[in-house]
Structure formats: structure tokens, C-alpha cells
Amino acid sequence: MSERQNLNRREFIALVGAAGAGLALGFHLISEHRLDAFAAETVATPFEPNAWLRIDTSGGVTVTIGKVEMGQGVRTALPMILAEELDADWSKVKAEQGDAHSKYGRMTTGGSASVRTAWETLRKAGASAREMLVAAAAQTWSVPASDCRTENGMVIHASGKKLSYGELAAKAATMAVPQYPKLKEPKDFKLIGKRVMKLDTPEKISGKAIYGMDVKAPNMLVAVVERCPVFGGKVKAFEASAAKKIKGVKHVVQIPSGVAVLASDYWTAMQGRAQLKITWDEGDFAKQSSDSILAERKKLAETKGAVAKSVGNVEKELASTKKKITNAVYEVPYLAHAPMEPMAAVADVRDGSVEIWASTQVPDRVQNMASDMTGTSKDKVIVHTTFLGGGFGRKLYPDYIEEAIHLSKAVKQPVKIVWSREDDIQHDLYRPSTYNVFNAALGEDGLPTALSLKIVGDALNKSNPKDNVEGAAVEGASNLPYKIPNLHIEWVMHNPGVPTGAWRSVGSSQNAFITEGFIDELAHLAGKDPFEYRKQLLTDARLKAVLELAAEKAGWGNPLPQGVYRGIACHKSFQSYAAEVAEVSVDKKTGEVKVLRVVCAYDCGIVVNPDGAEAQLEGGIADGVSCTFKRAITIKDGRVEQANFDNYDSIRINEMPKVEIHFVPSAEAPTGTGEPAVPPAAPAICNAIFAATGVRVRKLPIRPEDLVKQLGEN
């Protein structure tokens, strides 16, 4: 502790007096009972009781975030959790992004897990600091801590006297850190559960927010990479003389992923890339197409797969039952992530140190990767995480940062790697596509007595043994929430060579579509209302509660305007529960479908910031609608056919349905909101299309011409 911090009250007053008016102006006037607090205060020394919190002597509260902000609102929700237990003045709270460091725990941001995994940690961090501030005030006043309470950034004694957290900061730093601080009861929350504007909104609307694309470093070059258009292909030879003649092009460098052009700016680098002449070894995947992949999967569906779940005897029940559906095939396509901000990162590899600025969901993984690639000790690798212009799982994979590191090592100066939109869509790690076959039998009461499902598709982990079930491939299917006495689910791994990765809501994104669509088929076969059928079969009370709430708020069973039809679906993913009712109209001549309204009921436990949570659910539904109608990655001659938003589109603002969000009141610990609204969207819409037309949609995306054809065949 510094000499300044050790001053007692008399020495403090003497020092101020001796220094004269100039120094005295640095302090605000205080009442008599506050002098003892100032005796221990150092203006330059903040109170930092843990890795997540800093309180300066002006009362400013800074919460350091270990998770990354990609639009999901963690730079507001996580500070709210800590500030609630701290009893902070929210107007004085700000958030900052923590650089990669083990003190923040696992920094990977995904799986709708940020609030869920930080809940207890941040509550304890805030409560510990609060108790230390109370202890400092109690010592200052020579009163029992039990006579003090906290409110809005102040410690208040029973007598009415007060000290601000800023005034107590330095003295609080000398208090023992409580190991088991007392946490608030949810009924006593004052901040959590309130609508709060995001702390980063002013930065974003003013243009001050820094994304990966925005980073500039002294002496920095900008790089773009020409990659083989066929997955797995390699450079045979290249000619770069024409590229090097372009003014501003500085280097042309071959790296593992392709050939990079480095220039003074992005446009020049792109012009240089266009002049490259590369001969590719395209490899075996050049023979592949979407049709050949589908044909192989149809064959594989006849083979035995790895068993994900098996209860009872499905084959026996199917053989002895007359009312059944057999060989119902559902298909879902590959999907690209297409975040609004494509991949971008800056790497500066120096002798003995590495500094990286990146739009990444895995800053700690990037730190480890950079250490391994450069032979630099981990403590000398600094990773600054910028804002992310969307992630959706794509930025869990630091391949683009690896490119920047390779290039900075090669040219010995800072390098920014930038991917174009075409690079992003044609060189993604795609959501797996699957081919799915259902069989089911119904009893005399119309309820399912047996169900089998075979899923054929890619593994996210390409080294997964064929006889092992990959959890991500069957999530949302192997944990089917319905009461079915005979159940058998298999997965057949088929990796044709398409690079795959986690996509928003991972396996649930496709498995909710197929299972909720098929459950609707069973309800129709049984002649039962789809809502009542699900309610009768559900075994999870929380999922049943959201289903009932969605139906109630949507007016299920009430008359609709002419030409409007409803569909319903529910799903649990990432420990959250969602049910959605979609209302659609269908033009039977053109096959055009309009999604008019989506009512979503949701249970994520305690809702930290309703405003942010609603935004996430609305975004998830928008993604769900987009992928129902507009999105698919297709392969021809080993190449991705889509390249930009002209042929890999999202719904536009005029196509966005009216969305209503209803939260189930809960005192349970919070879970997440980033992903679980996506899975029920497609099946709710498709089930509504069936209600409107009698056509069962088993393949995504829905094309108007396909729907017209099915209507003609129906």
C-alpha cells in the first residue's frame, strides 16, 4: 500500500492545509462524518475486489466482461447481474471487454450460455464487493455492519448518514473478501427484470464502436486470400507478376489456405487478387454435387446406424399395427452463417510477443493457437476482442485469424485479414444437411405406440468414430419430449467433404423441424388437434407450460380471418423452453406464403433484461423464417453455388411477421435466449401451411414452385 493510502485523518487534513488551495480544489466539500472515509481514500486507486469489478473514487463502476458481445446483449445483461447484487447506481455503470485471460474462466461465447454460466459468479462478485463496502463504512463510523444498508451506490446508516461507494473505494480495498456473501432473493431485485437500454447503444449509433473490420494498426497491411473453390483443393502453381504490378500491392504470399495478396488497402488487395493466375489441384470433391450427396444418403438410410436411443421394440409394434406412417422422409439443407460482418482480424507477430485484434467468439482459444503457431509464451500473446457484427457460431472457428498470423509472421508487420461476402458464403463451415426417415404406429386411442427415426448427415467432428453418436447431430431428437413407449433413434454419419460447424441452435435447428413436423403428422392421422395432442404427450412440465401459454396468447381454437391458418410447435434447447404459433396465408395459385404473425412463449428462468431478451427471440424467429423460405447452400462440381445475398437471402423488413413474446414468470436461475427461438419457427410455419393447404412440407427451404407442384399432386 502506498504512503498516500496510509494517512490517518489528522495527517490528511494537515496535508491538505499545507498544500494550499491548489490541491484542495481537487477534493469536493464534505460533511464532518465523511472525513474518516477520505482519510483512507486515494483518488488514483480504484477498488478491485475481483476480476470483474472496479470502482473508482468518483463512484464509477466498471464491469469487465469475459464473454464477447456479438449483438446478444451480454455487455448489458452481465453488468446488470453484478450491479444488482452490488446495489450500484446504474447510471454510473459501464462495461469493458476483457482481453483473453484465464482469470475470466472459459471465454468461449456460444450455446446461449453467457448469462447461465456467469449468473452465480457475477452475483457473488457483486455481493462480495457490497459487503466489503459496508464493512468499510461500518469501520469508518464505528458502528455494526448490521446497522448499514446499501442503495443506489451508497452505504446508508440507520441514522441516515451516507457514504458513496466512491468515497469508500480505497478503504473497502483493505477489507477481507467474503467467501460466502449473502445473495438477494429474487423478490428483492430492483434492476434485474427491468427494461434497460444496452450500455453499448451510444457507441454503436455514434459509430464509435470498433468491430474487427474497423481495426487499424501502424504500418498495417490489408490482406485477402484466394482459396480453392473446391473444398479440400490445394494450390498446384500460381503466377503473381500481374498482381505485383498493381500500385499498392506489397506482397503475394502462399499460406496453407491459399494465396494471399497484401496491399496498402482492401480495394487494392482485391484488385491484386483478381490478377492472380492459380492452377488448383481440386481433389476428389470436385466430382460431388448436392444430387450425388443426396443419392449416397438415400443408400445409407438403408444401412444400420449408431444407436442414439432405443426403448422397447419398435419393429414388433410397427409390424402389428395398422394405423401407421412409414418411410416419411424429411430433408434439410446445408446453411451458411452469413453474419453481417464477415471474417476480419489483425495480427501483429513480433519477436517475443504477439498482439491480435479480432472479431471472435473464442479469444482464449485464439491465444492458445497464436502461442502454438509462433512459439511465443502464452503470457506474451495479447488478444483484444472487438465487437462482433454477428457470430451465429461461425466465429467459434478462428481459421481467418490463423491466416492473419501466418501472414504477419511472413512479412514481419501487422496484417489485417478481410473476407469478402463471397469468401464468407463460399468458404464457411456449414450447418450440416440431413436426410431423415420416420416410421410410427398409433394405438386405438390415436397416441403413438412406436416411433423410429434414422438421421443421415454430417458430423461436426470429422474424426468422430462411425460407431459413435455425435451429440450435436441428434440433439433435439434423441431427447424427444413426448411419451412414446417404443422409441428407436439412429444416426448414420456421412461426411462427403463439406466443412461443417455449429450454426445458431446447432442440431436443434434441423431436428426440431423434422420432429415437430412429424408429430403434427401423427396428430392429423389420429384426427386430433395438434395443440391438444402435444399437451397430452408431453412429459416436461415447463415445456407444456410454454405450449399452453403460446396457444392461449395466440387464441388457439378461436376463429381466424378468412384465408389465415395456424400451426404450432414447441422445443427445448440449451436449457430454455420455447413454443411458437405461426399464422400464415397461402396463395394456392402462386405458392407464395405470407407469415403474418408469430406468437412465442418462452421460459428461460429469470429474465435479466426483458428488452434484450425480446430482441434475441425476435432475431431468432427472423432467422427461422429466413431459413424456412430463402436459405440453402447447394453444391455443383464441388463448388458452392451461392455467393452473396442475391442467392442466399434473408427475409426483408416487409416480410417480417408481427412477433409477440410472452415470458413465463419464473424464479429459476436464468438460461439463454440467443438460439432457442430458432428451432420451433420452421415447424410452426410448415404446420400452418398444412392447415391451409393439406400439403405436408418435409423439405426446406419452401420454394413457391415446389408448393404449387405439391398442391397439384394433392
Instruction: Give the count of beta carbons closer than 10 Å to the beta carbon of residue 411.
Output: 17
Q: Which pLDDT does position 576 carry in this prediction?
A: 98
Unique residue bearing C-alpha cell 461443417: 500
Amino acid at the residue 433: S
pLDDT of 17 > 90? The answer is no
pLDDT tens by residue, 563-575: 999 999 999 999 9
Instruction: Give the count of beta carbons closer than 10 Å to the beta carbon of residue 222.
Output: 23
Q: Which of 185, 177, 166 is nearest to 135 (CA)?
A: 177
What secondary structure letter does DSSP report for 1? Answer: -
- As beta bridge partners, residue 345 has 358, 417
Instruction: Give the count of beta carbons closer than 10 Å to the beta carbon of residue 119.
Output: 19
Rounded Cα gap, residues 580 and 412, in angstroms? 54
- How many residues can be counted in the chain? 714
Cβ–Cβ under 8 Å, residues 285 and 638? yes
Higher pLDDT residue, 9 or 83? Answer: 83
Same domain membership, residue 612 and residue 527: yes
Q: How confident is the model at residue 8 (pLDDT cuts 50, 70, 90)?
A: very low
Q: Which pLDDT does position 213 carry in this prediction?
A: 97
Q: How confident is the model at residue 22 (pLDDT cuts 50, 70, 90)?
A: very low
Instruction: Give the count of beta carbons closer than 10 Å to the beta carbon of residue 144.
Output: 10
Residue 616 in domain: yes
Q: How confident is the model at residue 171 (pLDDT cuts 50, 70, 90)?
A: very high
Same domain membership, residue 570 and residue 634: yes
High-pLDDT (> 90) share of the chain, %:
93
Rounded Cα gap, residues 103 and 38, in angstroms? 31
Residue/partner pairs of 650-657 with CB below 8 Å, 24 or more apart: 650/338, 650/622, 650/623, 650/626, 651/622, 651/625, 651/626, 655/594, 655/595, 655/625, 656/622, 656/625, 657/582, 657/583, 657/595, 657/596, 657/597, 657/598, 657/621, 657/625
How many helices and strands, by DSSP H and E, does the chain display? 21, 27
Q: Which of 217, 231, 355 is nearest to 286 (CA)?
A: 231
Residue 635 in domain: yes
Residue 423 in domain: no
Same domain membership, residue 353 and residue 305: no
Residue/partner pairs of 642-651 with CB below 8 Å, 24 or more apart: 642/336, 642/425, 642/426, 643/421, 643/422, 643/425, 643/426, 644/421, 644/422, 644/425, 645/338, 645/421, 648/336, 648/338, 648/425, 650/338, 650/622, 650/623, 650/626, 651/622, 651/625, 651/626
Stretch (H or E) spanning 149: strand 148-151
- For the four alpha carbons of 613, 617, 619 and 623, in that order, the dihedral sign comes to positive
Same domain membership, residue 466 and residue 576: yes
Rounded Cα gap, residues 668 and 270, in angstroms? 52
Percentages helix, strand, coil for the chain (3-state, rounded to 5) are: 35, 25, 40
Domain residues for 183?
4-195
Beta strands in 246-386 (DSSP E): 249-255, 258-263, 277-281, 306-311, 324-332, 344-350, 353-358, 381-385
Q: Which of 435, 428, 439 is nearest to 457 (CA)?
A: 435
3-state secondary structure 595-643: EEEEEEEEECCCCCCHHHHHHHHHHHHHHHHHHHHCCCECEECCEECCC
Same domain membership, residue 494 and residue 402: no
Residue 54 in domain: yes
pLDDT tens by residue, 463-511: 999 899 999 999 999 999 999 999 999 999 999 999 999 999 999 999 9
Q: What is the DSSP string of 465-533?
A: -TTSPPHHHHTTTTT--B--SEEEEEEEE---S--B---TTHHHHHHHHHHHHHHHHHHHHHT--HHHH
pLDDT tens by residue, 80-96: 999 999 999 999 999 99
- Mean of pLDDT values over 254-260: 98
Q: Which of 688, 694, 693 is nearest to 531 (CA)?
A: 688
Unique residue bearing C-alpha cell 502464452: 378
3-state secondary structure 37-83: HHHCCCCCCCEEEECCEEECCCCCEEEEECCCCCCCCHHHHHHHHHH
pLDDT of 447 > 70? The answer is yes
Angle at 269 between CA 266 and CA 275, to 5 degrees: 145
Residue 94 in domain: yes
pLDDT of 607 > 70? The answer is yes
The three cell numbers locating residue 177: 473478501
Reduced to 3 states, what is the DSSP secondary structure of residue 298? helix
Same domain membership, residue 609 and residue 505: yes
Same domain membership, residue 326 and residue 367: no
Mean pLDDT across the chain: 93
Q: Which of 435, 332, 453 is nearest to 702 (CA)?
A: 332
Rounded Cα gap, residues 631 and 333, in angstroms? 8
Q: Which of 329, 373, 309 is nearest to 347 (CA)?
A: 373
pLDDT of 20 > 60? The answer is no
Q: Which pLDDT does position 18 carry in this prediction?
A: 31
Cβ neighbours of residue 676 closer than 8 Å, sequence gap 6 or more: 112, 505, 508, 571, 572, 573, 574, 576, 577, 578, 602, 604, 620
Q: How confident is the model at residue 242 (pLDDT cuts 50, 70, 90)?
A: very high
Cβ–Cβ under 8 Å, residues 446 and 325? no
pLDDT tens by residue, 646-691: 999 999 999 999 999 999 999 999 999 999 999 999 999 999 999 9
Residue 204 in domain: no
Q: Which residues of 673-705 are buried (b: 16+ CB within 10 A; e: fewer)?
A: bbbbbbbbbbbbbbbbbbbbbebbbbbbbbeee
pLDDT of 100 > 90? The answer is yes
pLDDT tens by residue, 216-228: 999 999 999 999 9
Residue 203 in domain: no
pLDDT of 703 > 90? The answer is yes
| Phi and psi, residue 543, nearest 5° | -70, -40
pLDDT of 34 > 80? The answer is no
pLDDT of 514 > 90? The answer is yes
pLDDT tens by residue, 262-279: 999 999 999 999 999 999
Unique residue bearing C-alpha cell 468458404: 427
Give the chain's domain count: 3
Q: How confident is the model at residue 37 (pLDDT cuts 50, 70, 90)?
A: very low
pLDDT of 602 > 60? The answer is yes
Instruction: Give the count of beta carbons closer than 10 Å to the beta carbon of residue 250.
Output: 18
- For the four alpha carbons of 43, 45, 47 and 52, in that order, the dihedral sign comes to positive
Rounded Cα gap, residues 696 and 517, in angstroms? 8
Q: How confident is the model at residue 713 (pLDDT cuts 50, 70, 90)?
A: confident
Same domain membership, residue 536 and residue 653: yes
Unique residue bearing C-alpha cell 431428437: 477
Boundary-marking domain end, from 165, 195, 225: 195
Cβ–Cβ under 8 Å, residues 421 and 369? no
Rounded Cα gap, residues 652 and 636, in angstroms? 28
Boundary-marking domain end, from 377, 397, 418: 418
Cβ–Cβ under 8 Å, residues 100 and 378? no
Unique residue bearing C-alpha cell 464493512: 135
Unique residue bearing C-alpha cell 396457444: 551
Q: How confident is the model at residue 6 (pLDDT cuts 50, 70, 90)?
A: very low
Same domain membership, residue 705 and residue 585: yes
Rounded-to-10 torsion of CA 581, 582, 588, 590? -160
CATH number, domain at 137? 3.30.365.10
- As beta bridge partners, residue 331 has 435, 699
CA 288 from centre of chain: 32
Q: Which pLDDT does position 45 carry in this prediction?
A: 67
Residue 206 in domain: no
- As beta bridge partners, residue 450 has 441, 486
The three cell numbers locating residue 136: 468499510
Same domain membership, residue 129 and residue 48: yes
Cβ–Cβ under 8 Å, residues 497 and 462? no
Same domain membership, residue 224 and residue 113: no
Same domain membership, residue 323 and residue 217: no
pLDDT of 13 > 70? The answer is no
Amino acid at the residue 555: G
pLDDT tens by residue, 357-400: 999 999 999 999 999 999 999 999 999 999 999 999 999 999 99
The three cell numbers locating residue 5: 493510502
